[in-house]
């Protein structure tokens, strides 16, 4: 199948303009699965939670989800995109997965980064894996990559491809995603944004460098740090279903889960008795 990322600079607060940019870049392209950046319809920084609330949308009834669903059907492409979600009295940093069959799935970011904690509620649902026909797909968002448990649980649930909408500002992720792929034997598509945003005394510069990585940690495609661009590559998703490392080693069965109890604790211990 053909998979791709779209790297661009969302304009803060300009939902309609951002959707026009997305449509202009991907409409008509031959690609089975697109991944777009985190908060790709609204931009990242908000002056306060009220502004975020006004820009957020319900899923699946919001205009962004509806428009991307139309594009998905028209182009026969599944699309993963990061959006601000409003649900009752809560705001979530979410991603949606829309498919040509009309499916709409969502994921809510588990690990909020920095000032996001002043705006969003953390995700309240365990990451899931979704069948899009040609592949089993899981989602995580930006800072989730820093917590290996996120990718690991998706792998254990059968993900062949991890879709990773991002607004990266730290310099580590692009170097680390090959490791995430090696340790889980999965494909990963990180769609980062470019540009910068300033709100009050906050300024963020985004690092671009979107990339597609295979289960052996090979970078199949990578974008520049500051250019609007998309890349599409051919992959064979079933390769990631083979977790056998050697004749005597298999990634899942070799795990010593009976000795991993500390992973379920809150991490406050300093290591002393």
What residues are labeled active site? 38, 109, 142
Dihedral sign for Cα atoms in the order 237, 85, 58, 4: negative
CA distance 33 to 30: 9
Reference 159, options 92, 107, 84; nearest CA is: 107
Task: Give which of 115, 178, 166 is closest to 142, Cα–Cα.
Answer: 166
**Mutual orientation of helices 173-184 and 148-156 as an angle, nearest 10°?**
30
Centre a 10 Å sphere on the Cβ of residue 1 and count the other Cβ atoms it contains.
Answer: 16
Whole-angstrom distance, CA of residue 168 vs CA of residue 209: 9
């Amino acid at each position: 199948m053909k998979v791709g990322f779209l790297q661009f600079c969302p304009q803060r607060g300009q939902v309609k303009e951002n959707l026009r940019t997305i449509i202009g870049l991907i409409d008509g392209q031959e690609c089975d699965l697109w991944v777009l950046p985190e908060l790709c319809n609204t931009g990242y920084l908000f002056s306060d939670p009220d502004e975020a609330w006004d820009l957020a949308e319900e899923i699946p009834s919001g205009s962004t989800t509806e428009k991307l669903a139309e594009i998905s059907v028209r182009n026969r492409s599944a699309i993963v995109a990061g959006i601000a979600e409003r649900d009752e009295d809560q705001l979530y940093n979410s991603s949606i997965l829309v498919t040509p069959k009309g499916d709409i799935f969502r994921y809510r970011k588990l690990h909020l980064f920095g000032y996001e904690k002043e705006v969003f509620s953390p995700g309240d649902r365990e990451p899931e894996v979704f069948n899009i026909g040609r592949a089993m797909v899981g989602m995580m968002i930006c800072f989730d990559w820093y917590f290996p448990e996120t990718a690991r649980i998706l792998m254990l649930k059968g993900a062949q491809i991890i879709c990773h909408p991002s607004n990266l500002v730290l310099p580590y992720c692009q170097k680390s995603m090959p490791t995430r792929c090696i340790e889980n034997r999965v494909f990963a598509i990180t769609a980062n944004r470019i540009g910068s945003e300033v709100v009050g005394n906050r300024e963020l510069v985004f690092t671009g460098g979107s990339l597609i990585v295979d289960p052996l940690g090979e970078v199949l495609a990578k974008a520049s740090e500051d250019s609007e661009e998309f890349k599409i590559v051919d992959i064979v998703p079933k390769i990631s279903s083979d977790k056998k490392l050697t004749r005597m080693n298999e990634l899942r069965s070799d795990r010593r889960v009976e000795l991993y109890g500390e992973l379920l604790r809150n991490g406050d211990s300093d290591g002393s008795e």
